Amino acid sequence: MNAKRKDFLATIMINLIVAVVVGILVFLLAYILISGLPHVSWSFLTGTTDAFSGAGGIGVQLFNSFYLLVLTMVISIPISLGAGIYLAEYAKDNWRTSLIRSAIEVLSSLPSVVVGLFGFLLFVVQFKIGFSVISGAIALTFFNLPLLTRNIEESLSAVSRSQREAGLSLGLSKWKTEIGIILPVALPGIVTGVVLSAGRVFGEAAALIYTAGQSAPVTNFADWNPMDAASPLNPLRPAETLAVHIWKVNTEGLASNAAQLSAAASAVLIIAVLIFNLGARVLGMYLYRRVTASNK
């Protein structure tokens, strides 16, 4: 009798807890979208920001976010692919490997602000490159490498041993087997991981404040020569991203409509993350079906 009452009470408690949690989650998403979306317009998405007050559109910041994302991925995917292959294929089960794994663990658990400060120290203070796209992209790479490496290693290791044996038994080198046979099978998992990490990189701000900087100089979108100072592709110009912009507007901004601005920018950010999330699922599923295509 007592046990049954307890069971009943516990169930009610848990249902209450879930109701609170769901309530918070729904409120969060609803608040951002409802307060932000009405202010999102074409001119907001493409317009330029007033450098002094921080008011105005987010066109440059949006471009910067994507540009940094692309650069980060271009740098971090090859490195983590090589490192993932090392861990999945070449690493022996010994103390050196476990040391390497610990190092990657440590890197992945460092707060992003520490990673950003390291980037600041290295690029801005030591190398005197200044706040720039490239400093930001490399800081984001540091932050992205451990996750991507682990994801790639896991996806590669999940491929059956028999596939490796098949490749090796035909006289293919280990490398060729890994690249030509195992990688295509592991691709769905890898792509899902890459897109999810893209979402994380897209929203990261703490690592960027002191590397990519907090200003978004107006660029000339007609000039695509990366060597020109005014070109949006110039890797040495400072580049405030959307996430940094939200922080900046809220902490130092003088715009009278700061709340509206950041609500709208947050809504855009959330929608981008949502797209990355859904994209990861859909793309992963599509590739999975292609790789295991049994019918066609």
Partner 1 sequence: MEQTHSQLRKPDAQPNEWAVRLHHATRATREDWLGKAISYLCIGVIILVVASMLWFITSKGIATFTQNHVSLGKFLTGTNWAPDQGQIGALPMIVGSFAVTFAAALVATPFAVGTAIFMTEISPNRGRKLLQPVIELLVGIPSVVYGFIGLAVVVPFMRHLVGGSGFGIISATFVLFVMVLPTITSMTVDSLRSVPRYYKEASLALGATRWQTVSRVILRSATPGILTAVIFGMARAFGEALAVQMVIGNAAIMPKNLISPASTLTSQLTSGIGDTIDGTLPNNALWSLALILLLMSLVFNALVRIIAKRGQLKHER
Partner 2 sequence: MLKQYSFDKTAVQSFAANTPLALRTEDLQVFYGANHAMHDADLAFPKNQITALIGASGSGKSTYLRSLNRMNDGIATVTGKIWYHGVDINEPDVNIYEIRRHIGMVFQRPNPFAKSIRENIVYALRANGIKRKAELNERVEQSLRGAALWDEVKDNLDKSALSLSGGQQQRLCIARSIAMAPDVLLLDEPCSALDPISTVKVEETLLELQKKYSIVIVTHNMQQASRISSQCAFFHLGHVMEYAPTTTMFSNPQIPVTQDYVAGSFG
Looking at residues 191 to 220 of the shown chain, list those that interact with partner 1 (rule: CB under 8 A): 196, 199-200, 202-206, 209-210
Tell me the CB-side half-sphere exposure of residue 57, using CA atoms within 13 A: 13
Binding-site partner at residue 292 among partner 2, partner 1, none, CB < 5 to 8 Å by type? partner 2
CA distance 129 to 213: 12
How near is the Cβ of 133 to partner 1 at its closest, in Å?
18
Which one, of 218, 212, 207, lies nearest residue 239 by Cα? Answer: 212
**Under 8 Å CB-to-CB from 56, ≥6 apart: which residues?**
47, 48, 49, 50
CA distance 74 to 86: 19
Binding-site partner at residue 74 among partner 1, partner 2, none, CB < 5 to 8 Å by type? none
End-to-end CA distance of the chain: 60
Q: What string marks each residue from 179 to 198 as x (binds partner 2 by CB under 8 A) or -?
A: -xx--xx-------------
Near partner 1 in 57-116, by CB under 8 A: 78-83, 85-87, 89-90, 100, 102-107, 109-115
For residues 189, 191, 195 and 201, what is the CA-based torsion angle, rounded to 10 degrees?
A: 90
Near partner 2 in 143-182, by CB under 8 A: 160, 162-163, 165-173, 176, 180-181
38 near partner 1, judged by CB under 8 A: no
In this complex, which beta carbon is closest to partner 2, that of residue 112 or of residue 157? 157
Binding-site partner at residue 111 among partner 2, partner 1, none, CB < 5 to 8 Å by type? partner 1
296 near partner 1, judged by CB under 8 A: no
